[in-house]
């Protein structure tokens, strides 16, 4: 990577590392409001319906309490009171329905807008943003974090606005019509609940919530790794260790979530106490001047008006989670793309030559500090239409090299050319459509085999699907299935064996007719006979691509043009299959420094 590229990588990783600091609140809110602009009008409508709903709630409970006293004392007509209650109830029910309907529309639409925006901002940065993130991080941001922000629209805006509008309106109306001597204490209690209680402990709660969510994400990462690495965990007898680590991280989550719960409990108790004091004060101060009917109605209304502050209290409880989630989404949306489109479209009419010249690369760290090189001064020349095999132990840099070829990232120094032109001159879509890889672990969708095959070639005919399956050595097995191409692959390919899933992904890649075919441990789940069959089919394939194969073994590579031996991020030998035997490779691994000078024959 050039110096600007290195700075870009550092800034990206630094953004991830500092996500708890976040942008200023005003910046964050402007960003959210810009994304969700289409739901603002229905959101205001929902708030207006809630204001009417709360106002009718006061009228309904006041009429009910006053009406009961009026009926008992004989001062009111029962039919009239019941008719009034029915009318108020029906109107209130209509307002409640409209509030809920519009509120849910806002919530679901906001979910859609947020997910589409975040996904669309991540899409140009893939696959680097996924391959350089911890397992579970991206999925958590696209699911739970978006859900937490949706709460702001569904359960925050309308309750907060209506609480202040209805609460202040009710206090002013009661004070001006009945007198502040009677309503003054109740007004003070309501002001306390509206202006003070919701904000008590908000700062400490938000700090603890940020810690809790970070620890919860660590826990999710740990659990995800444990599940996906279950074979290794069981094989090495690490069950107790992983469980104890999970318990320890779960305890940290619980400890950091306790302060917000404590503050929420305090706010709920304060609001209940204030509502009781307000209602009692109406009875006490109005006992000598108001009728029993008026006292009962006002006391009931005083109790109900505190439903507004309780809505603010609940919204405050959601807010710390929502803002923490919004900051993470803001960061993941604003991480700069590690690579960008070049000006040219890569559309070769024949298999291209590939050249790696003095390529060095280090994976970025989360805090922006330099990492040890994964590749150092790698130079390889692969002829057009050739078959090159990269051999080396795990961690030698083989997969990193082919990922750089597909521009997951750009090298720190050196260059990679395809067809005589640097890879950063091409658009990413055209480059990755023509340089396609088949790895040991491939993703299959939970749909039919045909739809999985057509992911890269949506217009492919059934005849073309069968031709690709024959090349991959899978046609006979699928023909024997009752539903043939309509067979369901299952979740992550669970309806297929490991070898079948691997060959299906190979067929999907061959269907795209790539100019460069990258085979990364693609025979890991195949027996020797099946592997030889597939290699013979590829060698006879009329669409002859340049092939780069990554493997740990040299079996069945007699037809290869070039073998490249890598160790610790360096090329320690290159040569034809006759020159590079398994015995030669073993000796190179034992003394790679001497091997570079003695046996390397770069071609």
Structure tokens at 87: 């009318």
Q: Please indicate, yes or no, if residue 19 is contained in any of the structural domains.
A: no
How many domains, the chain? 2
Both 156 and 192 in one domain: the answer is yes
Residues 359 and 260 in one domain: no
Q: Where are the beta strands (DSSP E) in 282-409?
A: 354-361, 375-382, 387-391
In this prediction, residue 86 carries a pLDDT of 95
In a domain, 440, yes or no: yes
CA distances from 71 to 61, 67, 68, 331, 433 (A): 15, 6, 5, 62, 81
Q: Distances from the Cα of 127 to the Cαs of 133, 329, 394, 432, in angstroms?
A: 10, 18, 21, 11
Starting from the edge strand earliest in sequence, which strands make up the sheet with 516-520, in order?
A: 435-439, 516-520, 546-551, 387-391, 562-567, 570-575
Domain, as residue range, for 37 = 25-334
- What confidence score (pLDDT) does residue 165 get? 94
Compute the distance between CA of residue 278 and CA of residue 165 in angstroms, rounded to an integer: 18
* Rounded CA separation 235/225 (Å): 15
Residue 238 domain-assigned? yes
Residue that is last in its domain, among 276, 306, 334: 334
* Of 318, 140, 143, residue with least CA distance to 219: 140
> 113 and 204: one domain?
yes
Distance, in Å, from the CA atom of 64 to the CA atom of 510, rounded to the nearest integer, reads: 75
The beta strand positions in 392-493, using DSSP E, are: 413-418, 421-422, 435-439
Both 294 and 416 in one domain: the answer is no
> In 3D, which of 310, 309, 277 has the Cα closest to residue 194?
309
Helices then strands, counting H and E runs in the chain, come out as 23, 10
| Nearest-10 crossing angle of helices 239-286, 180-195 | 170
Query: Is residue 17 in some structural domain?
Result: no
Using 70 as the pLDDT threshold, list the residues of the chain that sit under it.
1-22, 128-141, 317, 365-370, 442, 524-525, 553-558, 581-603
Measuring CA to CA, how many Å separate 448 from each of 305, 459, 474, 478, 501? 57, 16, 15, 12, 12
Helix ranges (DSSP H) in 480-570 = 498-511, 528-539
Kindly state whether residues 192 and 308 are assigned to the same domain. yes
CA-based end-to-end distance of the chain:
25
CA dist., res. 249 & res. 466, Å (int): 50
Residues 397, 256 share a domain: no
- Is residue 495 in some structural domain? no
Taking the CA of residue 339 as centre, how many other CA atoms within 13 Å lie in the half-sphere pointing to its CB?
27
Domain boundary residue among 334, 363, 396? 334
Question: What is the number of alpha carbons within 13 Å of residue 228 lying toward its C-beta?
Answer: 11
Token pair, residue 591, equals 């003394």
Angle at 327 between CA 323 and CA 333, to 5 degrees: 140
3-class state of residue 170 by DSSP: helix
Question: What SS3 state is found at 365?
Answer: coil
pLDDT at position 571 is 85
Domain end call among 334, 366, 401 = 334
For the beta carbon of residue 521, count every other beta carbon within 10 angstroms: 18
Is residue 167 in some structural domain?
Answer: yes
User: Are 584 and 514 part of one and the same domain?
Assistant: yes
CA quadruple 501, 506, 510, 515: dihedral sign:
positive
317 and 363 both lie in a single domain: no
* Residues 322 and 369 occupy one common structural domain: no
Query: In this structure, is residue 431 part of a structural domain?
Result: yes
Query: How far is it, in rounded angstroms, from Cα 448 to Cα 412?
Result: 42
The SS3 of residue 380 is strand
**Do 293 and 388 lie in a common domain?**
no
**Three-state SS for 571?**
strand
Q: What is the pLDDT of residue 16?
A: 40
Q: Measured between alpha carbons, how far is 39 from 37 in angstroms, rounded to an integer?
A: 5
460, part of any domain = no
The pLDDT value given to residue 542: 82
Statement to judge: residues 95 and 181 lie in one domain: yes
Same domain, 282 and 392: no
Helix (H) or strand (E) holding 276: helix 239-286
Looking at residue 241, which CATH number applies to its domain?
A: 1.20.1560.10
Strands (E), 241-398: 354-361, 375-382, 387-391
CATH number of the structural domain spanning residue 557: 3.40.50.300
Q: What is the pLDDT of residue 603?
A: 37
């Amino acid at each position: 990577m050039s110096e600007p590229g290195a700075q870009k990588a550092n800034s990206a990783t630094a953004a991830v590392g500092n996500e708890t600091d976040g942008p200023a609140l005003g910046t964050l809110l402007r960003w959210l409001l810009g994304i969700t602009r289409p739901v603002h009008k229905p959101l205001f409508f929902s708030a207006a319906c809630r204001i009417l709903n709360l106002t009718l709630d006061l009228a309904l409970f006041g009429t009910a309490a006053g009406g009961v006293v009026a009926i008992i004392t004989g001062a009111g007509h029962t039919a009239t009171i019941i008719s009034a209650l029915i009318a108020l109830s029906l109107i209130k029910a209509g307002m409640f329905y409209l509030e809920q309907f519009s509120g849910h529309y806002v919530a679901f639409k906001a979910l859609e807008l947020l997910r589409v925006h975040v996904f669309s901002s991540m899409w140009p940065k893939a696959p680097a943003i996924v391959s350089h993130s911890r397992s579970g991080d991206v999925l958590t941001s696209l699911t739970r974090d978006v859900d937490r922000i949706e709460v702001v629209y569904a359960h925050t805006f309308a309750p907060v606005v209506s609480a202040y509008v209805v609460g202040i309106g009710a206090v002013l109306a009661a004070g001006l019509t009945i007198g502040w001597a009677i309503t003054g204490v109740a007004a003070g209690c309501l002001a306390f609940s509206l202006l003070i209680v919701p904000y008590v402990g908000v700062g400490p709660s938000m700090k603890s919530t940020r810690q809790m969510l970070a620890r919860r994400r660590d826990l999710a990462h740990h659990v995800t790794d444990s599940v996906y690495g279950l074979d290794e965990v069981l094989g090495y007898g690490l069950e107790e260790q992983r469980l104890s680590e999970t318990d320890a991280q779960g305890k940290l989550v619980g400890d950091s979530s306790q302060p917000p719960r404590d503050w929420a409990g305090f706010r709920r108790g304060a609001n209940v106490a204030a509502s009781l004091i307000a209602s009692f004060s109406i009875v006490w101060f109005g006992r000598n001047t108001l009728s029993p009917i008026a006292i009962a109605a006002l006391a009931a209304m005083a109790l109900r008006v505190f439903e507004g502050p309780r809505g603010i209290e609940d919204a405050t409880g959601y807010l710390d989670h929502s803002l923490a989630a919004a900051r993470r989404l803001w960061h993941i949306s604003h991480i700069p793309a590690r690579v960008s489109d070049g000006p040219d479209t890569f559309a070769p009419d024949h298999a291209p030559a590939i050249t790696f010249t003095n390529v060095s690369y280090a994976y970025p760290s989360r805090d922006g500090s330099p990492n040890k090189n994964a590749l150092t001064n790698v130079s390889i020349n692969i002829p057009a239409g050739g078959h090159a095999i990269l051999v080396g132990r795990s961690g030698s840099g083989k997969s990193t090299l082919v990922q750089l070829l597909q521009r997951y990232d750009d090298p720190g120094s050196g260059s990679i050319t395809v067809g005589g032109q640097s890879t950063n001159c091409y658009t990413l879509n055209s480059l990755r459509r023509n340089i396609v890889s088949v790895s040991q672990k491939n993703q299959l969708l939970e749909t039919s085999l045909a739809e999985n095959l057509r992911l890269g070639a949506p217009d492919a005919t059934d005849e073309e699907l069968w031709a690709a399956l024959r090349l991959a050595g899978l046609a006979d097995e699928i023909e024997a299935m009752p539903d043939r191409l309509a067979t369901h692959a299952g979740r992550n390919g669970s309806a297929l064996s490991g070898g079948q899933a691997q060959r299906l992904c190979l067929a999907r890649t061959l269907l795209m007719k790539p100019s460069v075919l990258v085979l990364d441990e693609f025979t890991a789940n195949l027996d020797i006979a099946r592997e030889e069959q597939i290699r013979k089919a590829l060698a006879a394939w009329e669409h002859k691509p340049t092939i780069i194969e990554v493997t740990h073994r040299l079996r069945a590579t007699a037809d290869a043009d070039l073998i490249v031996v890598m160790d610790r991020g360096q090329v320690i030998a290159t040569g034809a299959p006759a020159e590079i035997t398994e015995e030669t490779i073993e000796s190179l691994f034992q003394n790679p420094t001497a091997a570079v000078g003695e046996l390397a024959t770069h071609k």
